[in-house]
């Protein structure tokens, strides 16, 4: 997979948080419960808002932190978006901001991908937001992603991907 010319960062959004006395918590819109606000969870929740607001993904098509069996191991993906037929469409891997997006992150995604066979990949640590899909020749190529509602780029409603030049 080629690298995009200039990686973009995940838009930061205000999240609904509370202090439980011993730790900060964040409200998860998809799972509808309070979760411990770790650095990775912060990135995951910002990604959920990005998927909802910019890519127009319906809440009902999103699944967060579910177990995937790989050989005899249990793995847990971060975010999976299904298409309207119920097939895996967009597989997202989130990392804490201090964890680099590198070959190790891509390998982790590939383990999930072997089982789920998603059409689109998205990797983020908040600072870097990368997405890719297969082009007409079957090669993985970087996708252009919108950074605000209505901006040019790929959206969930369109299977016509806008690839980076």
Share of the chain above pLDDT 70, in %: 85
Torsions phi, psi for 137 (to 5 deg): -90, 0
Q: Where are the domains of the chain?
A: 17-142
- Looking up tokens 């969930």 gives 156
Q: What is the pLDDT of residue 4?
A: 46
Q: What is the pLDDT of residue 7?
A: 58
Tens-place pLDDT, residues 9-43 = 888 889 999 999 999 999 999 999 999 999 999 99
Q: Could you tell me the fold of the domain covering 17-142?
A: tt1808, chain A (3.90.1570)
Contacts for 68 with CB less than 8 Å, ≥ 6 apart: 74, 75, 76, 77, 112, 115, 116
Q: What is the pTM of this model?
A: 0.86
With b meaning 16 or more CB within 10 Å and e meaning fewer, what string describes 107-136?
ebbeebbeebebbbbbbbbbbbbbbbbeee
C-alpha 112/C-alpha 91 separation (Å) is: 8
Task: For residue 131, list its beta bridge partners.
Answer: 122
Strands 79-82, 73-76: parallel, antiparallel or unpaired by DSSP? Answer: unpaired
């Amino acid at each position: 997979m080629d690298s995009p010319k200039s990686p973009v960062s995940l838009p930061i959004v205000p999240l609904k948080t509370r202090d439980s006395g011993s730790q900060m918590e964040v409200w998860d819109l998809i799972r509808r419960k309070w979760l411990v606000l770790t650095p990775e969870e912060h990135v995951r929740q910002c990604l959920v808002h990005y998927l909802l607001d910019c890519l127009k993904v319906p809440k009902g098509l999103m699944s967060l932190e579910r177990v995937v069996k790989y050989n005899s191991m249990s793995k847990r993906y971060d975010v999976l978006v299904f298409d309207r037929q119920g097939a895996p469409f967009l597989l997202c891997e989130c990392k804490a901001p201090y964890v680099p997006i590198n070959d190790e992150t891509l390998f982790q995604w590939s383990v999930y991908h072997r089982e789920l066979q998603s059409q689109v990949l998205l990797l983020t640590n908040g600072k870097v937001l990368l997405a890719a899909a297969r082009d007409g020749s079957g090669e993985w190529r970087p996708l252009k992603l919108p950074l605000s509602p209505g901006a040019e780029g790929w959206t969930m409603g369109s299977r016509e991907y806008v690839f980076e030049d």
